[in-house]
Chain A
Amino acid sequence: MTNIVSGIRIVGDRTLKIVERIGAIASFLFSILIHSAASFKRFSLTIREVYFAGVQSLIIILVSGLFVGMVLGLQGHETLQRYGSEDSVGVLVALSLVRELGPVVSALLFASRAGSAITAEIGLMKATEQLSAMEMMAVNPISRVVAPRFWGGVISLPLLALLFSAMGIIGGYLIAVVLIGVDSGSFWSQMQSAVDFEHDIVNGIIKSLVFGVAISAIATFEGYEAPPTAEGVSGATTRTVVSSSLAVLALDLVLTAFMLKGWN
């Protein structure tokens, strides 16, 4: 009996902590937004972070995109040929990538590559008193350090997701057309007529924008709130990867549900 009660208590306690944390991240996001003027007035600050976040993740995104596309080509062809419609493999590859795998997989990769780096960098700046020093120099660290990194992440993720999808389509093409011998003309033309710009591409971009906001908010929050010690920073880095990956998958479910239903 006491076991059940204490079990329930632990679950309740954890739940409260999670809710509390989400609230803290939301209010942190709010303070980033109201301190974002400098990130746009001095856009070079943000561009620098786009460059860092983008370059850090570029190779892994391109390579993963290629592999995922190739696997899709293989699996798609295998399944479709049972129904005699292996010509549609291009459609399957493109839709899976643009709607789901591009935004989601690149977000997961981005979270573990760039997100963790952002957390570690901000956490170390805090641990070595650089943020305090900045505050003492009358410069707000949220507006000078956090906001540019946040916007850098938000801007670069959709671009990376598009690159991921493009590489994936190339991978699918290599497998289906070059290797297996699906007709190149029908591969492309079926893809072109089946992929809708608004429904598929724009929705994919919306997804990666939302993921970018979530990952960047979590990554900057964890860095900024990290205990100023070595263990504190490494723990925060791990939390960034775990919680932003979960956030991406949960948000994906919600967004997909709305997008398939058409938002209303």
Chain B
Amino acid sequence: MTNLVEIANLNFGYNSRLVLKGINLTVPKGSLVAIMGLSGCGKTTLLRLMGGQLRASEGTVTVAGEKLNDLSQAELYRFRRKLGMLFQFGALFTDLSVFDNVAFQMREHTDLSETFIQDLTLLKLNAVGLRGMHHMMPSELSGGMARRVALARAIALDPQLMLYDEPFTGLDPISLGVIGQLIRKLNDTLGTTSVLVTHDVQESLKIVDYIYFVSDGVIVAQGTPDEIRGSDLPFVHQFIWGEMDGPMPFHYPAQSLKHDLELMGG
């Protein structure tokens, strides 16, 4: 098995409106793959499908050799132990300390002794550079630190697949670089496979192996960072260089300005 994630002919809709249409996507073992697209294009939905929180309407989602369409609720819970997920804003448990957040899964899922859990937790926190903060509460952390703690928590049980949902949102440039480097480093040193959902082009082009572009629920472009940088597809060009106008128009469709202004003026 060389692909850890395989998605074939996937359709998915909340209610009846299709959010993802005909998605085909693979993530080779050990690689770091990005899924990019504008807000609302279905990126989070795609991640939730890989984590088994949503079920495909049509098509198949295979992760680590398991076809998620067929799994029962209990099997899904068992399957998720192979997974780590970093949520958009960290989603740390606000009623637990940094230490207890990272130790959470070890306490829930293993019979390890408390001393062993302590060592393991401090090691995980060390990997994200925050061993010294283990006694703090999540509300006392800055956004960047909270994201790193959440990262330590996500890798607590050495997952095979890491899912990152917009890990860069709302971070200052330095924290942003730090998180990006950490994601790459953890992927390589832990032998994990990672899927990174983001709309931060510049940061992700630096760290990922392969990129899928999603627009309106369809994959519109894909390639390695170099291929993407050199792409002359108008959509990709606009997205990467942050141009105001292009296939994605700056103006939301409206009547002509003249018409609207005259109306207002009476």
Contact = CB atoms under 8 A, between A and B. Distances in A.
Interface string A129-169: 11011111111100010000000000000000000000000
A50 to B, nearest CB: 15
A125 interface: yes
Interface residues of A, number: 16
A124 B81 CA distance: 25
A15 interface: no
B80 A130 contact: no
Interface residues of B, number: 21
Contacts of B80: 135-138
Given A136-B51, A138-B78, A138-B109, A128 B104 contact: no
Contacts of A124: 94
B85 A136 contact: yes
Contacts of B235: none
Contacts of A144: 108
Contact of B77 (A125, A128, A133, A138): A138
Contacts of B89: 128-129
Given A136-B51, A137-B80, A138-B77, A129 B87 contact: yes
A134 B154 CA distance: 11
B118 interface: no
B53 A136 contact: yes
Contacts of A138: 77-78, 80-81, 105, 108-109
Contacts of B104: 137, 139
Contacts of A134: 93
Interface in A106-138: 121, 124-125, 128-130, 132-138
B83 interface: yes
B93 A130 contact: yes
B88 interface: yes
A137 B94 contact: no
A132 B91 contact: yes
A27 B87 CA distance: 30
A139 B94 contact: no
A135 B53 contact: yes
Given A128-B91, A138-B77, A138-B78, A133 B108 contact: no
